[in-house]
């Protein structure tokens, strides 16, 4: 029996369409229950596959969520890899890696879709927030100076997001006209400062 | 004859509903022709009023556009007023004024609507970009150091936008938990630096 003949044939281990059905089920479950509420078990049941197949394709729930956004999982990994470099390189590396995703046609579309869908509906917004909280925030804050690492990281992240929105979505002329290198040179020291520099509140209290 | 009795009665100088009809016509004309293409004459014609009445209510085309976004015109003026203060106060003033708009329930809703609608459709996005280019960019860049004032201003603006998106739309926990004063203390020096500090590209070339 051809398992990819178009009709629903139940469990189809490892086939391309199993992967697609998992993604489809994941989008529905994440939308309905949020990142926290959705379970691999429920997604597997809806897709008619074994939970182990989800792990095989996507690693864990965060990997599955990223894939369900149609962002290549390497995209997130590329940015996260920043934090295995020496800490005085984080600003430049995170900035380059992040804008690199927006410059690459393969990742630019999904990123744009993620941002646009997050603003278009509250469930997508919540889903994105939960995902950021459960992955990027949790994984990266452990590396940062422990005086308010969450504020450090989110100020840095939203700075990058804002500039990306200005350059790639709003297409504000001066940001479009600028060389990416000039933008990185301008923004990276700020990112570095937010991630590892002294916090102003600490300075004000001493 | 009661001019506000509900039926269309043609030109109704100065009445509340003239104002509403102008705004409605403005939204349609801006959407159809963009900020540049729409004319006060065409908007007045569509609303069935004299162009002078538009000037009376809204000042100029930018004022009308701002009003058509349902942003109080004072909102934009509050932020622009930053640049009549001494230049070493710009960072703090612009940051406080901008986040103040997002904290104020009266302006927070329209701001949210502006951002959400800009991402929801390309025409609104274009409309917002044209408006920013024709007003904020044009008015403010004249005050800035003339080495790439557009890049200075747009980097600063998109930084503020990004943090506002993180705190007020995405509601990323560490940005929501932070005191506004701490966020201002963290972000304002960066804004000041982008607006008036040395540009990195200049530093690299010397």
**What is the per-residue pLDDT across A114-141, written as a single tens digit (0 to 9) for each?**
787 777 667 777 878 887 887 788 889 9
Tokens describing residue A54: 């989800």
Cβ within 8 Å, pair B148-A201 = no
**Model confidence band, residue B178 (pLDDT cutoffs 50, 70, 90):** very high
| Record: contact A174-B154, CB cut-off 8 A | yes
pLDDT band at A162 (very low <50, low <70, confident <90, very high): very high
SS3 label, residue A85: coil
What value does the mean pLDDT take over residues B89-110? Answer: 92
Instruction: For residue range A57-110, list pLDDT tens digits in order.
Output: 999 888 888 788 777 777 878 888 999 999 999 999 999 999 999 999 888 888
For residue B36, the chain A residues in CB contact (below 8 A) are none
Does B122 or A37 have the greater pLDDT score? A37
| A138 Cβ neighbours under 8 A, 6+ residues apart | none
Other CB atoms within 10 Å distance of the CB of residue A147: 11
Q: Are A57 and A40 in contact (CB under 8 A)?
A: no
Confidence category of residue A10, pLDDT binned at 50, 70, 90: very low
Mean pLDDT score, B26-42: 84
What pLDDT band is residue A205 in, cutting at 50, 70 and 90? very low
Confidence class of residue B73 from pLDDT cuts 50, 70 and 90? Answer: confident
Nearest to B170 among A125, A169, A200 (CB): A125
Nearest CA in chain A to B177: A151
- From A64, A47, A66, select the one nearest A56 (Cα to Cα): A64
Rounded Cα distance between B78 and B111, Å, is 14
Q: Which of A148, A150, A183 sits opposite B173 (nearest CB)?
A: A150
Indicate if the pLDDT at residue B77 is higher than 70.
yes
Mean pLDDT of A175-179: 96
- Mark yes or no for CB contact B169/A115 under 8 Å: no
Mean pLDDT, residues A11-35 taken together:
76
B-chain residues within 8 Å CB-CB of A147? none
H helices of chain A, in order, are 16-37, 40-47, 51-58, 61-68, 73-81, 90-103, 105-120, 122-132, 138-141, 149-164, 173-177, 180-196, 200-205
With a pLDDT cut of 70, the percent of chain B lying above it is: 87
CA–CA separation, B182 vs A200, rounded Å? 8
Mean of the per-residue pLDDT values of chain B: 84
Give the pair of three-digit tokens for residue A81.
């890899």
Rounded to an integer, the average pLDDT of B45-68 is 90
pLDDT at res. A197: 96
A positions 167-196 inside 8 Å of B (CB): 167, 169-175, 177-178, 182-183, 185-187, 189-190, 193-194
- Mind listing the domains of chain B with CATH numbers? 16-68 (1.10.10.60), 73-198 (1.10.357.10)
**B-proximal residues of A, 92-121, CB under 8 Å:** 115-116, 118-120
- The residue among A155, A165, A189 with the most chain B CBs within 10 A of its CB, best to mutate, is A155
The candidate with the shortest Cα–Cα distance to B68, out of B40, B48, B97, is B40
Nearest to A80 by CA among A122, A143, A125: A143
Q: Which residues in chain B are contacts of A131 at CB distance < 8 A?
A: none
Task: Please give, rounded to a whole number of angstroms, the shortest distance from the CA of A22 to a CA of chain B.
Answer: 26
CA distance B158 to B161: 5
Query: Is B156's Cβ below 8 Å from some Cβ in A?
Result: no
How far, in Å, are A72, A121, A185, B80, B133 from residue B36 at the CA level?
Answer: 39, 30, 33, 21, 10
Q: What is the ipTM of this complex?
A: 0.76
Is B65 in a helix, a strand, or coil?
A: helix
User: Rg of chain A's alpha carbons, rounded to an integer?
Assistant: 19
The tokens for A163 are 């500039």
- CB–CB contact B172 A129 (8 Å): yes
Report whether A166 contacts B161 (CB < 8 A).
yes
- A139 near A193, Cβ under 8 Å? no
Residue A193 has pLDDT above 50, yes or no: yes
Q: If you ran DSSP here, which 8-state letter would residue B88 be given? A: G
DSSP H or E segment with residue B40 = helix B40-47
CB contacts of A136 in chain B (<8 Å) are: none
Give A127's Cβ-side CA count (13 Å radius): 27
- Is B139's pLDDT higher than 90? no
Segment among A59-68, A79-88, A191-200, B98-107 with least mean pLDDT? A59-68
Candidate from B158, B189, B194 with C-beta closest to A166: B158
Number of Cβ pairs < 8 A linking chain A and chain B: 146
Find chain B residues with C-beta within 8 A of A125's C-beta. 169-170
Confidence band of B6 (pLDDT split at 50, 70, 90): very low
> In angstroms, what CA-CA distances link A173 with A177, B111, B176?
6, 21, 31
> Cβ A187–B155 below 8 Å, yes or no?
yes
Q: Are A111 and A71 in contact (CB under 8 A)?
A: yes
Task: Determine, for residues B151 and A182 on separate chains, whether the beta-carbon distance falls below 8 Å.
Answer: yes
B63 versus B157: which is more confidently predicted? Answer: B157
Cβ count within 10 A of residue B109: 12
**Residue B28: band (very low, low, confident or very high) from pLDDT cuts 50, 70, 90:** confident
Counting residues of chain A whose pLDDT is more than 70, the rounded percentage is: 88
3-state secondary structure of B137: helix
Q: Distance (Å, rounded) from C-alpha B1 to C-alpha A176?
A: 55
* Tokens encoding B107: 């302006």
The reply to whether A39 touches chain B by the CB within 8 Å rule is no
CB contact under 8 A, B158 and A148: no
């Amino acid at each position: 029996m051809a398992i990819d003949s178009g009709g629903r044939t139940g469990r189809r281990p490892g086939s391309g369409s199993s992967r697609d059905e998992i993604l489809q089920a994941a989008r529905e479950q994440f939308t309905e229950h949020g990142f926290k509420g959705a379970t691999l078990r429920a997604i597997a049941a809806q897709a008619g596959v074994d939970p182990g197949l989800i792990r095989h394709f996507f690693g864990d729930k965060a990997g599955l969520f990223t894939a369900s956004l149609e962002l290549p999982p390497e995209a997130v990994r590329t940015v996260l890899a920043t934090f295995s470099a020496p800490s005085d390189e984080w600003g430049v590396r995170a900035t380059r890696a992040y804008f690199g995703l927006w410059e690459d046609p393969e990742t630019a579309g999904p990123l744009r879709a993620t941002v646009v869908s997050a603003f278009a509906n509250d469930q997508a917004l919540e889903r994105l927030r939960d995902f950021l909280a459960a992955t990027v925030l949790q994984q990266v804050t452990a590396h940062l100076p422990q005086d308010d690492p969450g504020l450090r990281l989110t100020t840095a992240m939203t700075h990058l997001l804002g500039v990306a929105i200005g350059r790639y979505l709003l297409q504000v002329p001066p940001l479009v006209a600028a060389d990416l290198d000039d933008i990185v040179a301008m923004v990276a020291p700020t990112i570095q400062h937010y991630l590892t520099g002294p916090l102003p509140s600490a300075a004000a209290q001493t």
